Amino acid sequence: MKRYYIVDAKHVRSLVAGDHYDGHIYHQDPRHRLNASWILEKTETAGVFHIRDLAHQKYIVAGDKYDGHVYHQDQQGRLNAKWRTVMVSSKNGIDTVQLLDLKHHKAIIAGDREDDNVYHQDPHNRLNACWALIPENQWNMLNHYTGMFKDQHWLVAHNAWNTQIAANQCKSITELLNYGVRGFALDVYGDDEASLHLQHGHGNIASRTPWEKIRNELKTWLAAHKNEVVTLFFESYLTGPKLGKTPAHTALQALDNSLKNIPCYVSGKANQEYAITNKTLEALITENKRLFAFIEKEPDEGTQPIFPAMTSNFAENVYGDASLKLGTWVNMREGSAKTNPLTFMNHFGNAPTGSEWERNRRDLLLHHADAFYTTFGNRYPNFVSLDYINWDKQDNAPIEAVRSLLWRTLAKSPPKAPGPVEVHREEASA
């Protein structure tokens, strides 16, 4: 039988039974736990199910007497252990439903504010009363293959190469890629292809790394992962072509020539912008157009045809300490425009702390993304840029945050009112 994570459309967290059986249902990230994996067992009535977890083989049950709570028990043939699915939407192969018990005709609901609890109330068209039935084997998905670039949500490593003194990151490029990072912000210097290097700050020689080393690491990984797309964001200190002149023999052209050593790289500003705007991710992968590169802004020499500029393509917020403060974190970055087709969210301080566990909390990242959504035309960020991306078995916050944004895009839609049902008026408060 198909196994599901049952994930609410507001907070993008799952129904989870206790790690040790305790009779309760929680609202948490699934973290690949069997007690977060559910089977919908058919009953004698179409569209009505018993919902059983895989770890303890117990069921989601409303109170025998209405009390506003749901429990984790044997179902014992009770009407309050039978759940009617009311379709809210079916989008991208994911059904989003409301779940109402047959005894009290109340819905399973996450808290109006995220609080790890699950309630039993009237749905009132709340997104936290709408549950996406996500097949377990799809939960780790990082790519929306049938979507365009603007439909993706990816993690970016800020100053990705810099693991030296005053390090911005603590993992290698390959480790970050294996974790799920799909964007890299890089400061590039040099005069020709041989001298291209990455360095954080003009005088910070300790952070200097040959660009060729990072390029070859990207090349190796992309060759081994044919279904992945990677984007580079260069803070470029390279000279560009003078207005009206061909780009040959400029440092910016040297960077493009170097990138051409990676077969899936898309060369040329016009080619990149066309592919990003007009191709689904699936089409880009089929055509082996899987590496894109932006420069932060046009060079001092003027507009050039080599790389697309972030200032023309991304609606971007401020960076540094201002990107971590509630009063300023959705302010527009200078040179950006809210009408640009893609979105980029910075979330890092002027200097890394050397840990970032607190700054990179999942709830804080999603709170920032929600504010970004409101400010930037009802759009979540396509890219989220962080310092010191770290993880362990207990805390997987950065990738869980961007995966939550992806599932919001895939499963979220304005909830429709279910058909009329007879309900009680008393409610427990979420």
Confidence of residue 285 (pLDDT cuts 50, 70, 90): very high
- Comparison of pLDDT for 354 and 5, the residue scoring more: 5
**Same-domain pairing of 248 and 287:** yes
What's the predicted TM-score (pTM) here? 0.84
Are the beta carbons of 359 and 398 closer than 8 angstroms?
no
**Same-domain pairing of 106 and 219:** no
CA distances from 171 to 157, 179, 216, 340, 392 (A): 10, 10, 17, 32, 12
**Same-domain pairing of 98 and 171:** no
Inside any domain, residue 144: no
**Same-domain pairing of 13 and 78:** yes
**Same-domain pairing of 27 and 170:** no
pLDDT of residue 412: 57
Inside any domain, residue 426: no
Q: In a 10 Å sphere around its CB, with 0-12 CB exposed, 13-18 middle and 19+ buried, how is residue 167 labelled?
A: middle
| Mean pLDDT on 78-98 | 93
Judge whether residue 329 has pLDDT over 50. Answer: yes
**Same-domain pairing of 163 and 79:** no
> How much of the chain, in percent, has pLDDT values that exceed 70?
95
pLDDT of residue 427: 30
Are the beta carbons of 148 and 279 closer than 8 angstroms?
yes
**Same-domain pairing of 96 and 230:** no
Count of domains observed in the chain? 2
**Same-domain pairing of 165 and 201:** yes
Beta bridge partners of 292: 231
Inside any domain, residue 376: yes
pLDDT of residue 165: 78
Are the beta carbons of 108 and 99 closer than 8 angstroms?
yes
Judge whether residue 177 has pLDDT over 90. Answer: yes
The residue among 196, 176, 199 whose CA lies nearest residue 187 is 199
pLDDT of residue 244: 66
Confidence of residue 93 (pLDDT cuts 50, 70, 90): confident
User: Which of 102, 118, 138 lies at the terminal end of a domain, its last residue?
Assistant: 138
Stretch among 154-163, 219-228, 335-344, 407-416 having the lowest mean pLDDT: 407-416
| Mean pLDDT on 210-228 | 98
Stretch among 96-100, 287-291, 331-335, 406-410 having the lowest mean pLDDT: 406-410
Judge whether residue 414 has pLDDT over 60. Answer: no
Judge whether residue 430 has pLDDT over 50. Answer: no
Structure tokens at 193: 């292809």
User: Which of 99, 115, 138 lies at the terminal end of a domain, its last residue?
Assistant: 138
Question: What does the mean pLDDT of the chain come to?
Answer: 92
Inside any domain, residue 257: yes
Judge whether residue 351 has pLDDT over 70. Answer: yes
- The CATH number that applies at residue 358 is 3.20.20.190
Judge whether residue 194 has pLDDT over 80. Answer: yes
Judge whether residue 402 has pLDDT over 60. Answer: yes
**Same-domain pairing of 222 and 111:** no
- Say how far apart CA 264 and CA 257 lie, in whole Å: 13
Are the beta carbons of 159 and 186 closer than 8 angstroms?
yes
Judge whether residue 160 has pLDDT over 60. Answer: yes
pLDDT of residue 241: 87
- Comparison of pLDDT for 429 and 355, the residue scoring more: 355
- Say how far apart CA 160 and CA 384 lie, in whole Å: 13
**Same-domain pairing of 308 and 370:** yes
For 81-144, give the secondary structure using H, E and C: HCEEEEEEEEECCEEEEEEEECCCCCEEEECCCCCCEEEEECCCCCHHHCEEEEEHHHCCCCCC
- The CATH number that applies at residue 104 is 2.80.10.50
- The radius of gyration of the chain from alpha carbons, rounded to an integer in Å, stands at 24
Confidence of residue 141 (pLDDT cuts 50, 70, 90): confident
pLDDT of residue 415: 31
**Same-domain pairing of 132 and 179:** no
Inside any domain, residue 428: no
Are the beta carbons of 265 and 253 closer than 8 angstroms?
no
- Say how far apart CA 427 and CA 260 lie, in whole Å: 63
pLDDT of residue 424: 28
Inside any domain, residue 427: no
Judge whether residue 411 has pLDDT over 70. Answer: no
**Same-domain pairing of 254 and 312:** yes
Are the beta carbons of 231 and 183 closer than 8 angstroms?
yes
pLDDT of residue 354: 79
The residue among 142, 139, 211 whose CA lies nearest residue 173 is 211
pLDDT of residue 311: 98
Quick: pLDDT tens for 107-136. Answer: 999 999 989 999 999 999 899 999 999 999
pLDDT of residue 34: 97
Inside any domain, residue 425: no
Inside any domain, residue 378: yes
The parent domain of residue 295 ranges over: 149-410
User: Which of 106, 138, 170 lies at the terminal end of a domain, its last residue?
Assistant: 138
pLDDT of residue 426: 30
